[in-house]
Structure 1
């Protein structure tokens, strides 16, 4: 049986003893992560910064000219949640709040990596999302929320109270990540690189820096799970779940669960994997490797009588700069051709930077939420657009294009539906 996408809210799972009165006491479902007395429930990782409890706050202090960023990390991990806290810079420096994060061995210690809510004196860039120790500063990309409107960033920065307490809010629900600064929305992002991890309070390495945090409280909203289309049967073989083959003779699973497809130029029809369900709001991903031909991750598509069967969106797989581009294809219904819209968005120059070449694996991902369509390739956003003309529901699918010699390898074809309960959280305002 599948695990439900959004677990029942888990309230009161973290209840430290002797917690003093705090903001959490007045907010239904929130629990304190800091008892106001000591650092119970937290562990330090990374560099040499020092953390202590002072006047009911956690204070982190940079040890000048020592290597490595330092993080005070929660012992508990969170998947879907709302985190609220207050911070104040006591000494200028660089800081942040980690979430859905993890650590790996590095040198003689641990290297923290994962999503980070940026914090800077004066509010500059505060609330933006940096990927600490992972995707940050790769391919010229600093911020994961590269499509955030400048006027929204300006409004959030203007709300910052330098040298005073400021309000942070971070919400993660499935692939949706949203941040606020003093009640001003900063980031509204869809990203699926990690879905669970610890929280952390960062002190950046450098010449100076000291930050105080207080009223740290969280509402635990459970955890979202991917639903796989490739599943292992009781006999150890692999098969489709909630999906079907078109031209099944062209498809087979390897012993380790990779779907292998071989399509001949003489075959005018498309070879396809098509979901048996329609999906409206969701995030879907697949990892692929190709040996010539043309392919796609279909979404919000309908079955027609055309040789290529599906009409709708294609997240393009072409082994060139069109990977992750959006194409909208035509169909044939009741003998009539229903036109497609062609290329909706392309980003060839950036795609050529982030795609893996020479037959290597790539992971492409589509998030569809109402009129919003977001594409990522190998974890980097290639497009984020509002398309009011888009279909609102339809099938997911994998394609081997007809009329061309094509060989494809697919693994980890998965979907995470965004339920009505998730949408209520995603669409809420503080």
Structure 2
């Protein structure tokens, strides 16, 4: 019995020593340790909660911790009235030299609308949406309207993961801001009746000691998005992703009508692959570039940035031998275009030459998540004859090839004279030179069985 008692006591002592050390960020009485930034919304303590109340005419308002945090586990309860939008900033900053002190950085989204993106990650005043819940639609039901919800944020090194009510919601790999403050957001409003609504937080606590010991084991429930340019995270490598461009050299690429990489028209600098401006003609300067090998079933991701008035594209199922004359190599195309400034947007049928469309065949929706002047992510998914185009995590179109409907669609397009267009079992992947400057980066592929 004595030995048993000593064993139990030892286990108790070990458990006590290894117990997670939580620090409360809100004392339940006042706003000591917090400061208001940017807008004019009101924050006050009601009972055991911090309550944020919007104000007409105010910009986004933030109640920020006076301390910064790097690696941590943050937990809090939150409740929001319908029709409001809110969030919790973390690893965020407010610097005079950045938009005159505007708060910017990672935001845990609180979204009671029908869109239901609570638990996604928005990059406030910087890159906009970096993890919309289109990336993880099963998590849209985690948030409960008109109820208290429990949030958990784990930020450790480059890994940031989010849960609501125990459900994995978001998962990114990023290194843009390794440390910063935590802040409660009251969003701006455009309706005076919303001044009667509020958002509340309570039980806010943080763990900053021995964080690695308390991280949640990795699962595949929330797909990871890697935002560090031209790299693979350990999880991506494990999942079978490969860099299609290494960020430095022309390895794996050549001219579509050449045996080597073009000697002009393309440059590589600072992790960006640029096709240079040359007058707007198709493949008339450096020419298109293609992968040196072919691909069959895959998920392809390409980050691109459009200069004003530019035209380009990402093609797949390309046969470089099909067109040896003037113009671009032939293949299915994810159109890259400045819809506002390039005349091609007004050609074709029902907008099927606009950004994200299957060029000259299937139009992308007019309302699409395009970030003007910033990098955007094009994703092309090919599973046999089923193909999808995505832009910044939102699916734009899907179609099936190698059938009568597809062949009829091709017959009424500019590709009607190219034999068996779009029906190849495999093909090269192409980046288009259309005589306008367009930037590419973070090009990666996952081959599917």
Q: What secondary structure does 1:324 align onto?
A: coil
Partner of 2:200: 211
Partner of 1:117: 109
Partner of 2:379: 367
Gaps of 5+ in 2: 1-15, 189-194, 208-214, 219-223, 232-244, 346-350, 403-422
Asked whether the equivalents of residues 278 and 285 of structure 2 are also in contact (C-alpha less than 8 Å), the reply is: no
Higher helix share: 2
Partner of 2:315: 298
Cα distance in 2 for partners of 1:370, 1:85 equals 40
Post-superposition offset of 1:297: 1.8
Report Cα offsets for 1:239-289 as digits up to 9, x if no partner.
635533344255243999743264897989992223457884453212234
Question: Match for 2:86 among 82, 88, 95?
Answer: 95
Q: What secondary structure does 1:75 align onto?
A: coil
Cα distance in 2 for partners of 1:374, 1:25 equals 47
Structure 1 residue 251 corresponds to structure 2 residue 265: yes
Question: Match for 1:327 among 355, 358, 378?
Answer: 358
For normalisation by structure 2, the TM-score amounts to 0.51
Structure 1 residue 226 corresponds to structure 2 residue 254: no
Cα distance in 2 for partners of 1:207, 1:284 equals 44
Structure 1 residue 413 corresponds to structure 2 residue 430: no
| CA distance 1:283–1:209, shift in 2 (3 Å) | same
Partner of 1:346: 363
Q: What secondary structure does 1:285 align onto?
A: strand
| CA distance 1:76–1:295, shift in 2 (3 Å) | same
Question: Match for 2:184 among 184, 201, 222?
Answer: 201
| CA distance 1:117–1:355, shift in 2 (3 Å) | closer
Asked whether the equivalents of residues 103 and 110 of structure 1 are also in contact (C-alpha less than 8 Å), the reply is: yes
Asked whether the equivalents of residues 89 and 211 of structure 1 are also in contact (C-alpha less than 8 Å), the reply is: yes
CA RMSD, aligned part only?
Answer: 6.3
Structure 1 residue 399 corresponds to structure 2 residue 427: no
Partner of 1:383: 396
Question: Match for 1:283 among 276, 301, 319?
Answer: 301
| CA distance 1:419–1:216, shift in 2 (3 Å) | farther
Report Cα offsets for 1:304-351 as digits up to 9, x if no partner.
5323797765221354252333438xxxxxxxxxxxxx73x4225336
Question: Match for 1:240 among 230, 235, 250?
Answer: 250
Partner of 2:336: 317
| CA distance 1:129–1:291, shift in 2 (3 Å) | closer
Cα distance in 2 for partners of 1:216, 1:278 equals 51
Asked whether the equivalents of residues 195 and 224 of structure 1 are also in contact (C-alpha less than 8 Å), the reply is: no
Report Cα offsets for 1:358-417 as digits up to 9, x if no partner.
xxx6754213567684533xx6957165979999997643113xxxxx412232433256
Partner of 2:68: 75
Cα distance in 1 for partners of 2:33, 2:425 equals 44
Post-superposition offset of 1:184: 6.0
| CA distance 1:350–1:212, shift in 2 (3 Å) | closer
Asked whether the equivalents of residues 54 and 187 of structure 2 are also in contact (C-alpha less than 8 Å), the reply is: no
For normalisation by structure 1, the TM-score amounts to 0.52
Post-superposition offset of 1:202: 2.0
Q: What secondary structure does 1:407 align onto?
A: coil
- In the alignment of these two chains, the number of paired residues is 344
Asked whether the equivalents of residues 389 and 398 of structure 2 are also in contact (C-alpha less than 8 Å), the reply is: yes
Q: What secondary structure does 1:346 align onto?
A: coil
Higher strand share: 1
Q: What secondary structure does 2:367 align onto?
A: helix
Q: Which has the higher contact order (CA 8 A, sep 6+)?
A: 1
Cα distance in 2 for partners of 1:275, 1:242 equals 6
| CA distance 1:40–1:227, shift in 2 (3 Å) | farther
Asked whether the equivalents of residues 160 and 181 of structure 1 are also in contact (C-alpha less than 8 Å), the reply is: no
